[in-house]
Amino acid sequence: MSTVLISDPTLRDGNHAVRHQLNARQIALYAAAADAAGVPIVEVGHGNGLGASSLQVGESLIGDREMLEVARENLVNSKLSIHVIPGFATINKDLKTAIEIGVDLVRVASHCTEADITQRHIGYARDKGKEVYGVLMMSHMASKELLAEESLKMESYGAEAVVIMDSAGAYLPSDVTERIAELVKSLTIPVGFHGHNNLGMAVANSVAAVQAGATILDGTARGFGAGSGNTQLEVLVAVLERMGFSTGIDLYKMLDAADIAEKELMPVIPSIKSLSVVSGLSGVFSGFAKHVERISKEYKVNAKDVFFELGRRKVVAGQEDLIIEVAMKLAAEGAVKS
């Protein structure tokens, strides 16, 4: 029976869904529940990862140190993981501190065409004896050949696995199959997939990934995460189990953990709103959704139109300031028309 290694970013990607306001009690509760269910890896932090709390992308309620310390205290068997985007996370301050607190796994991420920026962070964490993955975000914006090139860079820097993210929820299963197959063929290290549900395909895409040779999958309780949410972990575990894959997770306890997440962490369960569909079709990062809604309301423009325009401009995470520019432009055009 094939084994799939599950990594659970409920306490990191879920922070996007609450504008980074998860508190210590919530982190403790869910970390303990995931640990009890046998989830192998639990990722914790600000939605945009280590060191990302800021006025522009949103300030987290509590700092990285407190988030990681409380998670660390509540994880017995699960590994503690962090999402690290160079630029947000500095080596000498953020990464050093996280390693001192005792993270087990460091996932260093970049936009899918920018693997170069991960070299120093990957090297540093490996030098400190940590397990390190490379992560390529917004992977739908690169061809399978380019993704393989960028992944090979990460492998050469010392990454022990590469995970591609469907940050915009833009993939259909055939898109995933061709990209994962290419990576599996090109790399000697394990390959993973992180899905979002904008087109209702997160679980199906994850299954396509393992069928194409991926051995690592990300998923969150009730899909708690940016925009329309992530691959719903308890559903994924059930489906993988039925297909004959082993995850080591106790499904019954995972359902309990998801119930806890719903009750204690989530103001609302993620769902595929009309805006999520437009976001997925346009290929815009799901983390933009809440900002787009707020800014569109402020400038009295249609949020769907803002998303389509952001898609045309091929924006990436970190370019949140462009939302205001687009909304202002649409508002001005509307004012001219009327």
Task: Name 309's Cβ contacts closer than 8 Å, sequence gap at least 6.
Answer: 326, 329, 330
Task: Specify whether 16 is catalytic.
Answer: yes
Q: Which residue, 56 or 274, has its beta carbon nearer to its own copies?
A: 274
CB of 150 to its own copies, least distance (A): 25
Q: Is 194 annotated as a binding residue?
A: yes
Q: Which residue, 156 or 246, has its beta carbon nearer to its own copies?
A: 246
With binding defined as CB under 8 A, does residue 238 bind its own copies? Answer: yes
Find the binder of its own copies among 239, 322, 324, 328 (CB under 8 A). 239
With binding defined as CB under 8 A, does residue 56 bind its own copies? Answer: no
Applying CB under 8 A, the span of 89-97, 112-120, 141-149, 233-241 interacting with its own copies comes to 233-241
With binding defined as CB under 8 A, does residue 234 bind its own copies? Answer: yes
With binding defined as CB under 8 A, does residue 280 bind its own copies? Answer: yes
With binding defined as CB under 8 A, does residue 166 bind its own copies? Answer: no
Q: Is 12 annotated as a binding residue?
A: yes
Nearest CA-CA partner of 221 in 5, 6, 14, 3: 14
Find the binder of its own copies among 259, 264, 293, 325 (CB under 8 A). 259
- Rounded Cα gap, residues 37 and 309, in angstroms: 42
| Helix ranges, the chain (H) | 10-17, 24-37, 64-74, 96-101, 119-127, 144-157, 173-186, 202-211, 233-242, 251-264, 274-282, 289-299, 303-312, 321-337
Chain-centroid distance of CA 267 in Å reads 19
Question: Please, which residues bridge with residue 133 across strands?
Answer: 107
Q: Which residue, 88 or 171, has its beta carbon nearer to its own copies?
A: 171
Virtual CA dihedral for 120, 124, 130, 133, nearest 10 degrees?
Answer: 0
Q: Is 167 annotated as a binding residue?
A: yes
Task: Name 44's Cβ contacts closer than 8 Å, sequence gap at least 6.
Answer: 11, 12, 27, 31, 67, 68, 71, 80, 81, 82
With binding defined as CB under 8 A, does residue 255 bind its own copies? Answer: yes
- Rounded Cα gap, residues 268 and 262, in angstroms: 8
With binding defined as CB under 8 A, does residue 301 bind its own copies? Answer: no
In eight-state DSSP terms, residue 86 is B
Q: Which of 16, 20, 121, 140 is catalytic?
A: 16
Find the binder of its own copies among 232, 247, 286, 296 (CB under 8 A). 232
Q: Which residue, 211 or 319, has its beta carbon nearer to its own copies?
A: 211
Nearest CA-CA partner of 204 in 173, 169, 242, 167: 173
Applying CB under 8 A, the span of 82-90, 144-152, 153-161, 232-240 interacting with its own copies comes to 232-240
- Rounded Cα gap, residues 271 and 278, in angstroms: 13
CB of 187 to its own copies, least distance (A): 27
Find the binder of its own copies among 18, 98, 136, 204 (CB under 8 A). 204
With binding defined as CB under 8 A, does residue 269 bind its own copies? Answer: yes
Nearest CA-CA partner of 50 in 6, 8, 105, 5: 105
Find the binder of its own copies among 141, 201, 210, 323 (CB under 8 A). 201
With binding defined as CB under 8 A, does residue 281 bind its own copies? Answer: yes
With binding defined as CB under 8 A, does residue 199 bind its own copies? Answer: yes
Nearest CA-CA partner of 250 in 5, 38, 27, 65: 38
What is the number of other CB atoms lying within 10 angstroms of the CB of residue 252?
A: 9
Applying CB under 8 A, the span of 66-74, 122-130, 144-152, 239-247 interacting with its own copies comes to 239-247
Q: Which residues of this protein are in contact with its own copies, per CB under 8 A?
A: 172-173, 199-204, 207, 222-223, 232, 234-236, 238-239, 242-243, 252, 255-256, 258-259, 262, 269-274, 277-278, 280-281, 304
Annotated binding site for Mn(2+), which residues? 13, 194, 196
**Residues catalogued as catalytic:** 16
